[in-house]
Structure 1
Amino acid sequence: MSAREWLEKDFYAELGVSSGASADEIKKAYRKLARENHPDANPGNAQAEAKFKAVSEAYGVLSDPEKRKQYDEARKLFGSGTFSGGQGGFGGFGGSGGGFDIGDLFGGAQSGGGGGIGDLFGGLFGNRRPGATTANRPRRGADVETEVRIDFAEAVKGATVPLRLSSPVNCPTCHGSGAKPGTRPRTCPNCTGSGLVTRNQGAFAFSEPCPDCRGRGTLIDTPCPDCNGEGVSTRSRTLTVRIPAGVSDGQRIRLAGQGEPGRHGAATGDLYVVVHVNPHRVFGRSGDDLTITVPVTFPELALGTTLTVPTLDGKVSLKVPAGTGSGRTFRVRGKGAGKKDGSSGDLLVTLQVAVPSKLDGKAAEALADYAKATADHDPRHDLNELLGR
C-alpha cells in the first residue's frame, strides 16, 4: 500500500469511533465489528469478509500507540493544508530548481540533509532504501486478535486448547506470488517496477500509483485461480494454544508469527489470544491466591476443631485453634494459582459462623443456659468505653 493510500484511509471511520477515542473504546469497537463480520459467521459473504479485513487493518494501526501517533500526525499535517492543493491533497511547491515529487516526500535521507518526512512516518510506511520502491518494499503482516473462553481450573493450572480461526494466509497454491503455478509476475513496463508514475504540470511533478499495475510494480498475466492474483487467501485453521498456569481474565497471549502473512518476504504478524475465564461457584481469586469462605459453627470456633477444606486438587485438613473469631482468614500454602516461576500461590480460607435460622426446644434451652453462664462477658465493652457509655 502506498503512502497516499494510507493517508486517504480513515481508520477511525472504519471502526466507527472518533479520533479522540480511548484505547478501550477502539478495542471494543473492533471486537464488535470483527465478530459481526468474521468469515466463520458469514460464509460466502464477500462484503463481510472485506469489512473484516478493513477493520483488522484499522485496528492494527490504531491499537499500536506509536503507529497511531504517526498516523494522527500524518493526517494532521496533510489535513492542515501544509501540503494541500493539486492531486488528492498532495500538491506541489513552487521554487527554483525544478519540481516536487511525492516520492521524495516519503523518501529516505538525502545527501547531507535530513531524512525527509518519510522518517516521521517510518512506523507506518517503512524507511525507504536506495533502489527500493514503495510497491515492492517488504511489509510486515498485520497482527490478528481472537478470543477463547476457559474454565476456572484451567486458568489456575494451565491448559492446552484447540483454537479454530479464519484468517488471511499466503495462498498455498501460488505461495503468495499471485501468479498461476508455472508462471511468474513480470515487471510493469509503464512504471518499470517502481509502482509510481510521474506526471508533469509545468514546473511541478506529481507522482501517483501506476494505473496499470495499481502501484504493485508488477503485472500478473495469468492469475492464480485460487486467490485471483492477490497472493493471499482466507483459510480456516486449527491451532493448539498453550494457556499458561495463572492466566487472568482478559489477559492477552501473544503467538509470534501466527498473524497475517507479510508481503514481499516480510515477517508474518502475530496472533493475540484474549482469554476469558468462567467464574467458579466455590472459589474466588485474588492475584495468585485462591479464596474460599467456609461456614462453621460457634462451638467449633470457641472450642477449636480440625476442618476438612476443599481445594482444586482435593482436600486438606485445617486446624482451627480454640477462641478463633468469625471472619478470620487462614493461609494454606501452595494451593493457589500457578506462577511464571513454576511455584503456586496460596489458598486463603475465611471462616464464617453460620447462624441457625431456627432452634428446637433443647437447642434453645441449651443456648439460654449458655447465655446465663456468660452473662458477665460483654463483647461490646471496649466499644462502649470508646463511646463514653
Structure 2
Amino acid sequence: MSKRDFYEVLGVSKNASEAEIKKAYRRLAMKHHPDRNSGDKSADSEKLFKEAKEAYEILSDPQKRAAYDQFGHAGVDNSAGGGYGHAGGGNFSDIFGDVFGDIFGGRAGGSRVHRGADLRYNLQISLEDAVAGTTVKIRVPTMVKCNPCNGTGAKKGTKPKTCSTCAGHGQVRMQQGFFSVQQTCPTCRGKGTVIESPCPACHGAGRIQEHKTLSVKVPPGVDTGDRIRLSGEGEAGESGGPAGDLYVQISVKPHEIFTREENHLFCEVPISFVSAALGGELEVPTLNGKVVLKIPAGTQSGKMFRMRGKGVKPVRGGPVGDLLCKVMVETPVNLTDDQKELLRQLDESMKGAGSKHSPHSTGWMDGVKKFFEGMGF
C-alpha cells in the first residue's frame, strides 16, 4: 500500500514554514493520540497518529525534507529510522517531548521558581480622605523571603543540589511503546533541585510568615470599589521566585451630611420658614469649610441649589464635580401663644387680601412680606 504524501498528511502546503508544520503536527497528535481515543476508534487513531508522526519526523528535519522534496518517499526510506516505530534523530525526540509535554502537563526546563501569590487588603477610609487624598499605614500578614537562607530553603553555607532523578529538568520522560510521556519528577516535585540540609528557620520552604507595615498613598478622588496596586508587596515566591502584588481595596465610610454619586456631592440643608419666605443668605457646609448660599424669596422646600466645583475631583482626571444642596423648610414647633396668634393674623390677612394661598401667588408673597416686616423682620 502506497504512503500518502507527507504534506497531505499534515494538511500543509509544500512551502509551509517550520512553525506551520509543527503546529499542524501538534493538532493531529492531540486529536489522534491513543490515550484520547478508545473503543472502535482506537485502531484508526493509532494508524493516523503514526502516519502524522512519520510525516513530521521527515518534514521537521531540513535535510530529510530536502531529500523528500527531490526524490519523494524513496529519498527518505533509509533516513526515516525504520518507519513508524522509531523516534528518529535527537532533534525530533526533543520536539516530540515538547509537544506531548503540553498534552500531559508541564515541560522540561530546569529548576522551578514560582511567583508569589497576590494579596488583597480591605481599606476603609472617610469621605474627606477619599476626596482630598491621604497616606495610610497598613499592617499586612504575608509570606516573606527567609533571610538566613535568602529564600533558597537550604541551610546557611549549603545550597540546593540538582535532582539526580530528572537531572534538573523537573520532569521525567517515560517511554510507553512508540511514544513518550512527561511527568512531574517524583523526587523534586518539579523543582529541579533537592535540599539535603533544610534551613532551620523556614524548614526548607524558603519563606516564613510575618507582618509587614506598608505606607499606602491614597490619591484624591478614589471611591468605593477602586483598587490600589502595590507591586511586589504580595507573598514572596517559592524557590527565590518573584513576589506577587498587593491590591488595596477601597471602601468609603457613609458620611453624616454628604452622599456621593460619581463626582457630585449631595446634602440637605434646613431653612426656616421666614428665610424661605423672605429670602436671605444661608451658610452651607462643604468638605472644605462653609460657604454662603443666597436664598431667593419664596423658596420652596425641596428646592435644589447647585454649587459648581464644590464636589469631587476625579481620580482619573476631568472636571471637578458639583455640590447640590436641597433646602428643606422647617415647620416651627413649640410656638408660644403670642406666636400662634401672629400666625392666625397672617392667615386672616391672606384671606382678606383675596389670596388663593398659593406659594406661587404674588399676592400671597406680598402679604407674607408685609406681615413679617410689621413684626420687625
> The TM-score by the shorter chain falls in which range?
0.5 to 0.7
Distance of 1:84 and 1:142 partners within structure 2: 37
Task: Give the structure 2 partner of residue 27 of structure 1.
Answer: none
The alpha-carbon distance between structure 1 residues 103 and 376, as it changes in their structure 2 partners (threshold 3 A), is farther
Correspondence 1:242 to 2:242: no
Task: Give the structure 1 partner of residue 60 of structure 2.
Answer: none
Query: Deviation of residue 160 (structure 1)?
Result: 1.3
- Aligned counterpart in structure 2 of residue 164 of structure 1, from 118, 127, 139: 139
**AA matched with 1:187:** T
Distance of 1:166 and 1:381 partners within structure 2: 64
Query: Deviation of residue 373 (structure 1)?
Result: 5.1
Distance of 1:226 and 1:297 partners within structure 2: 71
What does residue range 92-103 of structure 1 map to in structure 2 within 5 Å?
A: 95=50, 96-98=84-86, 103=97
| 3-state SS in 2 of match to 1:148 | strand
The alpha-carbon distance between structure 1 residues 188 and 318, as it changes in their structure 2 partners (threshold 3 A), is same
Correspondence 1:288 to 2:266: no
Task: Give the structure 1 partner of residue 66 of structure 2.
Answer: none
Unaligned runs of 5+ in 1: 1-76, 86-91, 108-115, 383-389
What does residue range 338-353 of structure 1 map to in structure 2 within 5 Å?
A: 338-340=313-315, 341=317, 344-353=320-329
TM-score (norm 2): 0.64
The alpha-carbon distance between structure 1 residues 381 and 244, as it changes in their structure 2 partners (threshold 3 A), is closer
**AA matched with 1:213:** C
Provide the aligned length of Structure 1 versus Structure 2.
279
- Aligned counterpart in structure 2 of residue 369 of structure 1, from 326, 343, 348: 348
The alpha-carbon distance between structure 1 residues 191 and 117, as it changes in their structure 2 partners (threshold 3 A), is closer
**Cα offsets for 1:161-219 (capped at 9, x unmatched):** 11111112222221211111211111111111011122233334332122221221111
Correspondence 1:216 to 2:191: yes
- Aligned counterpart in structure 2 of residue 327 of structure 1, from 283, 302, 311: 302
- Aligned counterpart in structure 1 of residue 206 of structure 2, from 231, 234, 245: 231
- Aligned counterpart in structure 1 of residue 121 of structure 2, from 143, 146, 151: 146
Distance of 2:329 and 2:142 partners within structure 1: 54
| 3-state SS in 1 of match to 2:172 | strand
**AA matched with 1:377:** K
Distance of 1:238 and 1:220 partners within structure 2: 32
Query: Deviation of residue 293 (structure 1)?
Result: 0.3
- Aligned counterpart in structure 2 of residue 207 of structure 1, from 182, 186, 200: 182
| 3-state SS in 2 of match to 1:147 | strand
| 3-state SS in 2 of match to 1:197 | strand
Query: Deviation of residue 380 (structure 1)?
Result: 9.5
Distance of 1:142 and 1:370 partners within structure 2: 78
Query: Deviation of residue 138 (structure 1)?
Result: 4.8
Correspondence 1:356 to 2:315: no
Distance of 1:369 and 1:103 partners within structure 2: 102
- Aligned counterpart in structure 1 of residue 98 of structure 2, from 100, 104, 109: 104
**Cα offsets for 1:98-153 (capped at 9, x unmatched):** 5799953465xxxxxxxx669xx9xxx7xx6xxx61x6355433221121122222
Query: Deviation of residue 303 (structure 1)?
Result: 1.6
Query: Is the 8 Å Cα contact of residues 350 and 357 (structure 2) preserved in structure 1?
Result: no
Task: Give the structure 2 partner of residue 62 of structure 1.
Answer: none
The alpha-carbon distance between structure 1 residues 373 and 359, as it changes in their structure 2 partners (threshold 3 A), is farther
What does residue range 10-29 of structure 1 map to in structure 2 within 5 Å?
A: none
CA RMSD of aligned residues (A): 3.5
Task: Give the structure 1 partner of residue 14 of structure 2.
Answer: none
**AA matched with 1:369:** E
| 3-state SS in 2 of match to 1:309 | strand
**AA matched with 1:316:** V
Distance of 2:99 and 2:313 partners within structure 1: 53
The alpha-carbon distance between structure 1 residues 326 and 269, as it changes in their structure 2 partners (threshold 3 A), is same
Distance of 1:317 and 1:157 partners within structure 2: 22
Distance of 2:99 and 2:111 partners within structure 1: 18
Unaligned runs of 5+ in 2: 1-29, 39-44, 51-83, 88-92, 362-377
**AA matched with 1:351:** V
| Structure with larger Rg | 2
Is the deviation greater in 371-380 or in 288-297? Answer: 371-380
Query: Deviation of residue 82 (structure 1)?
Result: 7.2
Distance of 1:82 and 1:240 partners within structure 2: 54
The alpha-carbon distance between structure 1 residues 374 and 347, as it changes in their structure 2 partners (threshold 3 A), is farther
The alpha-carbon distance between structure 1 residues 297 and 183, as it changes in their structure 2 partners (threshold 3 A), is same
Task: Give the structure 2 partner of residue 28 of structure 1.
Answer: none
**Cα offsets for 1:281-302 (capped at 9, x unmatched):** 1111121222110011233123
Query: Is the 8 Å Cα contact of residues 139 and 213 (structure 2) preserved in structure 1?
Result: yes
| 3-state SS in 2 of match to 1:228 | coil
The alpha-carbon distance between structure 1 residues 154 and 250, as it changes in their structure 2 partners (threshold 3 A), is same
Task: Give the structure 1 partner of residue 364 of structure 2.
Answer: none
**AA matched with 1:295:** P
**Percent pairwise identity:** 43
**AA matched with 1:231:** G
**AA matched with 2:303:** R
Task: Give the structure 2 partner of residue 312 of structure 1.
Answer: 287
